[in-house]
Amino acid sequence: MAAKYVIGVDVGTGSARAGIFDAAGRMLASAKQDFALFHAPGAIVEQSSSEIWAAVCTAVKLSREEAGVGAGDVAGIGFDATCSLVVLGEGGEPLAVGPSEDPARDIIVWMDHRAVAQAERINAMGHDVLRYVGGRISPEMETPKLLWLLENRPAQFRAAWQFFDLADFLTWRATGDLARSTCTVTCKWTYLAHERRWDDSYFRAIGLGVLADEGFARIGRNVVDPGSPVGAGLTAKAASELGLRAGTPVSAGMIDAHAGGIGTVGADGDAQACLAYVFGTSSCTMTTTAEPVFVPGVWGPYYSAMVPAMWLNEGGQSAAGAAMEQLLAMHPAAAEGARRAAAEGQSLPALLSTLAARKVPSLSQAAQLSNGLHVVPEFLGNRAPFADPHARALIAGLGMENDLDSLVALYVAGICGIGYGLRQIIDTQAAAGAPIARVVISGGAGRDDLVRQLLADVTGKPVLATQAQEPVLLGAAMLGAVAGGLCADVQEAMSGMSHIGKTYTPAGGDIAALHDARYDAFRRLQDVGRAIR
């Protein structure tokens, strides 16, 4: 009997997750394995590729065992991961990327901002390539980080055999093939997918000419679209580690947010009308257009980076779920709230959502609980639409209250602040020629009903949630389904494996007017923040 299940693997900021799906997109089982995140002075954040691969293997084995699916019943596997930089020496040996000198710490994590100065120098050059990253490159992207390595750790840079985006590292580790994904290298490395080439002049201009001299052998000569089978499938070694059969098809991977995009936008039937909003540790917005749209401060347009043969604009917030954690941790009642949440078996944000919902007749009215508090939650800068890594959070309207009710008010104000940032991206894109009609949400921080309703009210757009509880995992599984032959292409997988579960309709009247006023305050605070900085 033909294999009929696929595996999706999602490597986030703190854990690897694996899910087993059937051809209709139903998840049979999932498993999660945590891994470490190392912080150091200078905005340095690092990880270990060896530890991440081990976590992937554990999660895959556990999920398959829980699902009761045999190794021979798996038709394909797809990977997604954060856009983090993996540095390997000869033979695939890890190389230290920071002052710890620990070779196990061979990943510069997406949120690492050590390369701010390099990004600013690159932006000052104004190379034409920057048109395809919203006009300004981010320190979260890979060429500024590569330049930092060359300037600060030249021996490691010279010793590096390959520089991988994390998703591409996973497919290499699984297959032994050095193919890169169009998604990763286009969105984070300045590959021009619409022309199927790297721009030599850009690399020479910014000081990375050595990579051009080598014919880009260390960052990817063979670039293939997500869903394409990589190599000859799982190697015998990787298959043994994962508990699967050698030769099982492996798809070219994706950045995690983009996997969430394909796992959601196809459910509506009109990818161009839907903005994919992935609300996790950070947030990503993904908008699909038939023709390229240039939006200052919004990454892209990227060709075939998410939906094949379509253009993608990518925005988002550098800290979203993480911003909420930071915001709540500052409140005097945070410890009390955390203890109560733990006693009730839930997270602090989940508890605060529950308490807020109990206080109002409808979820839309929860915005009134913000009680004059205004939050611009840009703790880690503004990713879009200002591409400003120096922006910082602002809070206005604080009083002397220090009880749990005031913590609920701060939580609601924070969620609204996240929503106003989203609305700002939507407005900016619409003005540039990329309007959207609906928001399709995914990500762990966006699962709560209150959060979804507030985002609908704030943006004035319906917020749609898919039936899949794990749409990012589903997106990765869709890639495996294409590589394994269960679906003819990514578009067929998107329409056949994803389905809308619930729609949150924006409130009108007084609630809409309240958010209009608060959105105006949000933008005024941003202006003040820039002025006083």
CA 71 centroid distance within chain: 29
The arithmetic mean of pLDDT across residues 276-284, rounded, is: 91
Q: Are 356 and 412 in contact (CB under 8 A)?
A: yes
Mean pLDDT across the chain:
96
Cα separations in angstroms, 40 against 110, 119, 138 = 14, 20, 20
Beta bridge pairs of residue 211: none
Residue 345 to residue 327: CA distance in whole angstroms: 21
**pLDDT-wise least confident of 117-131, 189-203, 258-272:** 258-272
Read off the pLDDT of residues 52-105 as tens digits, 9 standing for 90 and up. Answer: 999 999 999 999 999 999 999 999 999 999 999 999 999 999 999 999 999 999
pLDDT top residue among 3 and 426 = 426
| Beta strand spans in 110-205 (E) | 162-165, 180-181
Q: Which tokens in the block code for residue 104? A: 């196990």
The arithmetic mean of pLDDT across residues 511-531, rounded, is: 98
Residue 450 to residue 518: CA distance in whole angstroms: 18
- Scanning 398-508, the segments in alpha helix (DSSP H) are 404-432, 449-459, 471-483, 490-497
pLDDT for position 443: 83
Q: Are 95 and 55 in contact (CB under 8 A)?
A: no
- What predicted TM-score, i.e. pTM, was given to this entire model? 0.90
Q: Is 215 exposed, middle or buried (0-12, 13-18, 19+ CB in 10 A)?
A: exposed
The arithmetic mean of pLDDT across residues 305-310, rounded, is: 92
Residue 196 to residue 241: CA distance in whole angstroms: 34
Read off the pLDDT of residues 470-482 as tens digits, 9 standing for 90 and up. Answer: 999 999 999 999 9
> 10 Å Cβ neighbour count for 390?
14
Read off the pLDDT of residues 136-165 as tens digits, 9 standing for 90 and up. Answer: 999 999 999 999 999 999 999 999 999 999
Beta bridge pairs of residue 302: 312
Read off the pLDDT of residues 435-449 as tens digits, 9 standing for 90 and up. Answer: 999 999 988 899 999
CA 317 centroid distance within chain: 10
Whether 14 shows a pLDDT value over 70: the answer reads yes
Residue 122 to residue 199: CA distance in whole angstroms: 14
Question: Phi and psi of 451, rounded to 5°?
Answer: -60, -45
Q: Which tokens in the block code for residue 431? A: 């003005």
pLDDT for position 3: 78
Q: Is 389 exposed, middle or buried (0-12, 13-18, 19+ CB in 10 A)?
A: buried
Residue 485 to residue 113: CA distance in whole angstroms: 40
Q: Which tokens in the block code for residue 504? A: 């949150």
The arithmetic mean of pLDDT across residues 395-414, rounded, is: 97
Q: Which tokens in the block code for residue 373? A: 């508090």
Q: Which helix (H) or strand (E) holds 17?
A: strand 15-22
Q: Which of 300, 452, 477, 325 is nearest to 383 (CA)?
A: 300
Whether 113 shows a pLDDT value over 80: the answer reads yes
Beta bridge pairs of residue 313: 287
124 contact partners, CB below 8 Å, separation of at least 6:
none
| Beta strand spans in 318-429 (E) | 374-376, 394-396
> 10 Å Cβ neighbour count for 44?
18
Look-up of token digits 């604009």: 313
The arithmetic mean of pLDDT across residues 259-285, rounded, is: 90
Upper half-sphere CA count for residue 216 (Cβ side, 13 Å): 20
The arithmetic mean of pLDDT across residues 190-205, rounded, is: 98
Q: Which of 82, 75, 81 is nearest to 7 (CA)?
A: 75
Residue 15 to residue 401: CA distance in whole angstroms: 36
Read off the pLDDT of residues 250-264 as tens digits, 9 standing for 90 and up. Answer: 999 999 999 999 999
447 contact partners, CB below 8 Å, separation of at least 6:
469
Beta bridge pairs of residue 277: 285, 441
Residue 464 to residue 416: CA distance in whole angstroms: 18
pLDDT for position 1: 53
pLDDT for position 132: 94
70 contact partners, CB below 8 Å, separation of at least 6:
none
Look-up of token digits 């969430």: 260
Q: Are 25 and 41 in contact (CB under 8 A)?
A: no
Residue 67 to residue 60: CA distance in whole angstroms: 11
Question: Does residue 53 sit in helix, strand or coil?
Answer: helix
Pairing type for strands 107-108 and 162-165 reads unpaired
Question: Phi and psi of 414, rounded to 5°?
Answer: -65, -45
pLDDT top residue among 469 and 31 = 31
User: If pLDDT is split at 50, 70 and 90, which confidence band does 208 have?
Assistant: very high
Domains of the chain: 5-255 (3.30.420.40), 321-425+509-532 (1.20.58.2240)
